[in-house]
C-alpha cells in the first residue's frame, strides 16, 4: 500500500531518519581495519539505543519458507557482497575493503532506512570510483523525485547514469516506500522507463537505493539465506537515503 504521510507522521519520519543518519556517523567514526563486522554492528545498535530507537532489521521476518528472521542490527556487506551481509565475530574488516552498511532505525512506529559504502584504509582507485558513482546515482535519481513525475523517471535516471559509467545495476532488489512498514509500495527499481509507474505525490516517503556492480549484473545468494554476492566476484557498492516528496525539491531525511 502507498501511504501519504500527515504532518505529524512526517515529523516522526524526520526524527527516526535523523537517528539513522547519526548511527551512520557513529559507524563512520568507528570503522577501521582489524575490527569484526559484529563489533561494527554492536556500535550501530548502541547508537540507535542511545537515541531511543531500535533496529528494524533485527528479527525481521522476510516471510520466505526456511529463511530465519534476520539475526543482526545491520547488514554489512564487504567487497563482492552486494547486500544483506550478516555481521559475524569471524569476519574481519581489512585495509582496502569497501564496506556497505545498510541500517533501518525504528522509533515511535516509523522506520528510517539508509545505506553507505565506507572506504577502509587504502582503497584502490577503481573501487573509489565505483563507490562515488553509486552515491552519485542516488543524486541523479532524486532529480526526478518531484510532484507530478513518475517512479519510472527516478528508475530510468539511476539506470542510465550507472550504465554510462560502465557499471551494472542489480535487478532483483529495489528501493521502496517506507513509513510504519520498512517496505511499503511503491517498489522503486534502479532501472526502467521514464514516464512509467506510479505518479509521485507530496507526503510520500521513499527509500531510494542504487546497488551497483563493477562487472556483470548477475548475483547469487549464499547458503545462509541472506548474503547476496556478485556472480563474477567483482566489487559492489550501495547508497541509500530515505527522502520526503514535497511541493518542490525532495528533502533527504537521512543526511544530517
Ligand atoms: N535495509 C534493507 C532495505 O532496504 C532491508 C534489510 S533486510 C533485513 O531495503 F532483513 F535486514 F531487514
Ligand atoms: Co531500503
pLDDT at 66: 86
**Which residues have C-beta atoms less than 6 Å from ligand 1?**
57, 60, 70, 75, 84, 102, 104, 113, 207, 209
* DSSP code string of 110-145: EEEEEEEEEE-SS--HHHHHHHHHHHHHHHHHHTT-
Beta carbons of 98 and 123 less than 8 angstroms apart: yes
Q: Which CATH code fits 7-252?
A: 3.90.230.10
Per-residue pLDDT, averaged over 31-54, amounts to: 98
More confident residue, 64 or 96: 96
* DSSP code string of 161-182: HHHHTT-EE-SS--EEE-SSSS
pLDDT at 154: 99
C-alpha to C-alpha distance for 98 and 118, rounded to whole angstroms: 6
pLDDT in tens, 152-208: 999 999 999 999 999 999 999 999 999 999 999 999 999 999 999 999 999 999 999
Per-residue pLDDT, averaged over 60-89, amounts to: 96
Q: 3-state DSSP helix/strand/coil percent for the chain, to nearest 5?
A: 25, 25, 45
Residue with the smallest CA separation from ligand 1 atom 12 is 57
- Locate the ligand 1 atom nearest the alpha carbon of residue 74 and give its number: 11
Identify which of 37, 81, 90 has the alpha carbon closest to the alpha carbon of residue 226.
81
pLDDT in tens, 85-122: 999 999 999 999 999 999 999 999 999 999 999 999 99
Percent of the chain, pLDDT > 70?
A: 100
- Locate the ligand 1 atom nearest the alpha carbon of residue 69 and give its number: 10
Identify which of 126, 101, 123, 69 has the alpha carbon closest to the alpha carbon of residue 209.
101
pLDDT at 67: 87
Beta carbons of 41 and 27 less than 8 angstroms apart: no
pLDDT at 13: 99
- Locate the ligand 1 atom nearest the alpha carbon of residue 176 and give its number: 9
40 Cα: distance to centroid of ligand 2 (angstroms): 19
Per-residue pLDDT, averaged over 19-48, amounts to: 99
32 Cα: distance to centroid of ligand 2 (angstroms): 25
101 Cα: distance to centroid of ligand 2 (angstroms): 11
210 Cα: distance to centroid of ligand 2 (angstroms): 10
179 Cα: distance to centroid of ligand 1 (angstroms): 14
Is the confidence at residue 65, as pLDDT, over 90?
no
Beta carbons of 166 and 126 less than 8 angstroms apart: no
Ligand 1 binding pocket mutation candidate from 16, 24, 100, 102 (most atoms within 8 A of CB): 102
Percent of the chain, pLDDT > 90?
A: 97
216 Cα: distance to centroid of ligand 2 (angstroms): 22
Q: Nearest 5 degrees, angle CA 214-CA 93-CA 240? A: 50
Q: Phi, psi at residue 10, to the nearest 5°?
A: -65, -40
Q: Is 2 left (phi over 0), alpha (psi -120 to 50) or beta?
A: beta
Supply the mean pLDDT for the chain.
98
Amino acid at each position: 500500500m502507498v501511504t501519504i504521510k500527515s504532518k505529524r507522521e512526517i515529523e516522526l519520519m524526520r526524527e527516526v531518519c535523523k537517528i539513522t543518519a547519526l548511527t551512520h556517523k557513529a559507524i563512520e567514526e568507528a570503522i577501521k581495519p582489524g575490527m569484526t563486522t559484529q563489533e561494527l554492528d554492536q556500535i550501530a545498535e548502541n547508537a540507535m539505543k542511545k537515541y531511543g530507537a531500535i533496529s528494524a532489521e533485527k528479527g525481521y521476518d522476510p516471510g520466505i519458507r526456511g529463511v530465519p528472521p534476520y539475526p543482526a542490527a545491520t547488514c554489512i556487506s564487504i567487497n563482492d557482497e552486494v547486500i544483506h551481509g550478516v555481521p559475524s565475530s569471524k569476519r574481519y574488516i581489512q585495509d582496502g575493503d569497501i564496506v556497505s552498511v545498510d541500517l533501518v532505525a525504528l522509533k515511535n512506529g516509523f522506520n528510517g532506512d539508509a545505506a553507505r559504502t565506507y572506504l577502509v584504509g587504502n582503497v584502490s582507485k577503481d573501487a573509489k570510483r565505483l563507490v562515488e558513482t553509486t552515491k552519485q546515482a542516488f543524486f541523479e535519481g532524486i532529480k526526478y523525485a518531484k510532484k507530478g513525475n513518475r517512479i519510472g523517471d527516478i528508475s530510468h535516471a539511476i539506470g542510465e547514469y550507472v550504465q554510462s559509467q560502465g557499471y551494472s545495476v542489480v535487478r532483483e532488489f529495489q528501493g521502496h516506500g517506507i513509513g510504519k512498514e520498512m517496505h511499503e509500495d511503491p517498489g522503486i527499481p534502479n532501472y526502467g522507463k521514464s514516464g512509467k509507474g506510479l505518479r509521485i505525490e507530496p507526503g510520500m516517503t521513499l527509500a531510494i537505493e542504487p546497488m551497483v556492480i563493477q562487472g556483470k549484473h548477475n548475483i547469487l545468494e549464499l547458503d545462509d539465506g541472506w548474503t547476496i554476492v556478485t556472480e563474477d566476484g567483482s566489487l559492489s557498492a550501495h547508497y541509500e537515503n530515505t527522502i520526503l516528496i514535497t511541493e518542490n525539491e525532495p528533502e533527504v531525511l537521512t543526511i544530517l
